[in-house]
Amino acid sequence: MTDQEQKQLGKTLWAIADTLRGAMNADDFRDYMLAFLFLRYLSDNYEAAAAKELGADYPTEPADVLRKLGVNSRLELWYQDNPDDTGVFEKQMRRRMHYVIRPEYLWTSIAELARKQQDELLDTLQKGLDYIETESFASTFRGLFSEINLSSDKLGKTYPERNAKLCKIIMEIANGLRDFSTDSDALGDAYEYLIGQFAAGSGKKAGEFYTPQFVSDILSQIVTLDGQEPATGQRAHMDSLMDFACGSGSLLLNVRHRMGTHGVGKIFGQEKNITTYNLARMNMLLHGVKDTEFEIFHGDTLTNDWDILRETNPAKMPRFDAIVANPPFSYRWDPTEALGEDVRFKNHGLAPKSAADFAFLLHGFHYLKDDGVMAIILPHGVLFRGGVEARIRTKLLKDGHIDTVIGLPANLFYSTGIPVCILVLKKCKKPNDVLFINAAEHFEKGKRQNRLTDAHIEKIVSTYQFRTEETRYSRRVPLEEIEGNEFNLNISRYISTATVDEEIDLVATHNELVRLDQRVKTATTDHNRFLKELGLPLLP
Q: Give domain limits for the chain.
A: 3-200, 206-493, 504-540
Q: What does each C-alpha distance from 324 to 167, 434, 461 come to in angstroms?
A: 40, 19, 15
The H or E element spanning position 425 is strand 420-425
Q: Return d(Cα 106, Cα 77) in angstroms, integer.
A: 13
What's the pLDDT at 185?
Answer: 62
From 199, 215, 197, select the one nearest 207 (Cα to Cα).
199
**How does pLDDT run along the chain (540 residues), one tens digit per residue?**
566 666 777 788 888 887 777 767 777 788 888 899 899 989 999 999 999 999 999 999 998 999 899 999 999 999 999 999 999 999 999 988 889 999 999 999 999 999 999 999 999 999 999 999 888 877 788 889 988 899 988 889 999 999 999 999 999 889 888 776 666 567 777 787 788 777 766 554 445 557 888 999 999 999 998 644 444 456 678 999 999 999 889 999 999 999 988 899 999 999 999 988 998 999 999 888 999 999 999 999 999 999 999 887 878 889 999 999 999 999 999 999 889 999 999 999 999 999 999 999 999 999 999 999 999 999 999 999 999 999 999 999 999 999 999 999 988 887 677 889 999 999 988 778 999 999 999 888 877 788 999 999 999 999 999 999 999 999 999 999 999 999 999 999 999 866 555 567 788 888 888 888 888 888 888 888 887 888 888 877
Q: Which CATH number fits domain 206-493: 3.40.1280.10, 3.30.230.10, 3.40.50.150, 3.40.350.10?
A: 3.40.50.150
Our measurement of the distance from residue 450's CA atom to the centroid of its chain's CA atoms, rounded to an integer in Å, reads 16
Beta pairing, strands 474-478 & 433-438 = antiparallel
What's the burial of 71, exposed, middle or buried (CB within 10 Å: 0-12/13-18/19+)? buried
* DSSP characters over 41-75: HHHHHHHHHHHHHHGGGS----HHHHHHTT-SSHH
From 302, 59, 22, select the one nearest 172 (Cα to Cα).
22
Instruction: Annotate 362-393 with three-state secondary structure.
Output: HHHHHCEEEEEEEEEEEEHHHHCCCCHHHHHH
Q: Give CATH for domain 3-200.
A: 1.20.1260.30
Residue 172 near residue 20 (C-beta atoms within 8 A)? yes
Residue 354 near residue 235 (C-beta atoms within 8 A)? no
Non-local CB neighbours of 55 within 8 Å, separated by 6+ positions: none
What's the pLDDT at 228?
Answer: 44
Q: Return d(Cα 228, Cα 297) in angstroms, integer.
A: 29
What's the pLDDT at 160?
Answer: 94
Q: Which residues partner with 230 through β-bridges?
A: none
Q: End-to-end CA distance of the chain, in Å?
A: 79
What's the pLDDT at 178?
Answer: 79
* DSSP characters over 435-479: EEEE-TT--B--SSS-B--HHHHHHHHHHHHHT--BTTTEEEEEH
What's the pLDDT at 208?
Answer: 53
Dihedral sign from CA coordinates of 69, 71, 73, 76: negative
Residue 209 near residue 247 (C-beta atoms within 8 A)? yes
From 287, 286, 288, 280, select the one nearest 38 (Cα to Cα).
286
